[in-house]
């Protein structure tokens, strides 16, 4: 794709590339901004190589790289698998519950994509996450409260791996990622905190 962009006589004005917060590696204690160095695990290396592949396009057009967190919506991903479990009253923290979850509501992610495409001021790397990351324990408590269900039974790692496959590692090994660059850009979140995001998602799924 980048080769096509750079070779075109009249190419696109902007290239928006989706990376992931896995760029930073997993950590229970670190806090990461766009200026933080990349991690050394497999997913981090994949993200770093993916982002490096977009750099030649910078000579031809505006390039925006979004390091995407866990996108929350009612009909897919980790939350989509958790909703039925909580409805049965058997939900709870995932894994230890102490790992960080850097998330973004699906509506805000779509708004961010539109802004990255349409606003010439967007350029470079942005963490596509809400400004208030939470632990998985806090996430489970907020989801239980939004659904009016208990949040007492921990979800063991093997069960989550059976439900999500390789995607389970995204929620079992997290990182605390900040939305500093989006704040500096003036991006306004419709759902900046998890309780209000989950309230909307639960209502949409009912």
Summarize pLDDT for 113-127 with one digit per residue, the tens. 999 999 999 999 999
Would you place residue 56 in the very low, low, confident or very high pLDDT band (cuts 50, 70, 90)? Answer: very high
Strand pairing partners for 155?
A: 94
Q: Could you list the beta-strand ranges (E) of the chain.
A: 14-20, 31-32, 62-68, 70-72, 100-101, 103-105, 124-128, 134-135, 176-177
Report whether 30 contacts 175 (CB < 8 A): yes
Mean residue pLDDT of the chain comes to 92
- 180: confidence class by pLDDT, cuts 50, 70, 90: very high
Structure confidence at residue 166 (pLDDT):
65
Report the alpha-carbon distance of residue 29 to residue 36 in Å, rounded.
14
Whole-angstrom distance, CA of residue 87 vs CA of residue 202: 10
What's the angle, vertex CA 14, arms to CA 9 and CA 18, rounded to 5? Answer: 125
CATH number belonging to the domain at 15-205, selected among 3.30.465.10, 3.40.50.920, 3.40.50.11290, 3.40.50.720: 3.40.50.720
Q: Are 115 and 128 in contact (CB under 8 A)?
A: no
Cβ contacts of residue 136 below 8 Å, gap of 6+? 93, 94, 95, 96, 97, 98, 99, 100, 101, 171, 174
Can you tell me which residue has the tokens 């290239």? 15
Confidence of residue 95 (pLDDT cuts 50, 70, 90): confident
Look at 78 and 167; give whichever has higher pLDDT: 78
pTM of the model: 0.92
What residues contact 40, with CB distance under 8 A and at least 6 apart?
25
- φ, ψ for residue 62, nearest 5 deg: -75, 130
């Amino acid at each position: 794709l980048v080769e096509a962009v750079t070779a075109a006589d009249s190419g696109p004005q902007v290239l928006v590339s989706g990376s992931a917060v896995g760029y930073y590696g997993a950590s229970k204690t670190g806090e990461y901004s766009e200026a933080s160095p990349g991690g050394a695990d497999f997913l981090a290396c994949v993200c770093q190589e993916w982002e490096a592949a977009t750099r030649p396009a910078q000579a031809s057009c505006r390039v925006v790289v979004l390091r995407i967190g866990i996108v929350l919506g009612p009909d897919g991903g980790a939350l989509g698998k958790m909703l039925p479990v909580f409805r049965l009253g058997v939900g709870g923290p995932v894994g230890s519950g102490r790992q960080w979850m850097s998330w973004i509501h699906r509506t805000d992610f779509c708004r961010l994509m539109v802004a990255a495409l349409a606003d010439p001021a967007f350029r470079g790397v942005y963490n596509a996450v809400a400004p208030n990351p939470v632990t998985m324990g806090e996430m489970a408590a907020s989801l239980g409260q939004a659904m009016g269900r208990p949040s007492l039974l921990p979800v063991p790692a093997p069960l989550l791996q059976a439900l999500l496959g390789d995607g389970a590692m995204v929620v079992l090994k997290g990182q605390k990622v900040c939305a500093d660059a989006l704040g500096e850009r003036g991006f306004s979140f419709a759902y900046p905190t998890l309780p209000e995001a989950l309230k909307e998602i639960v209502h949409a799924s009912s």
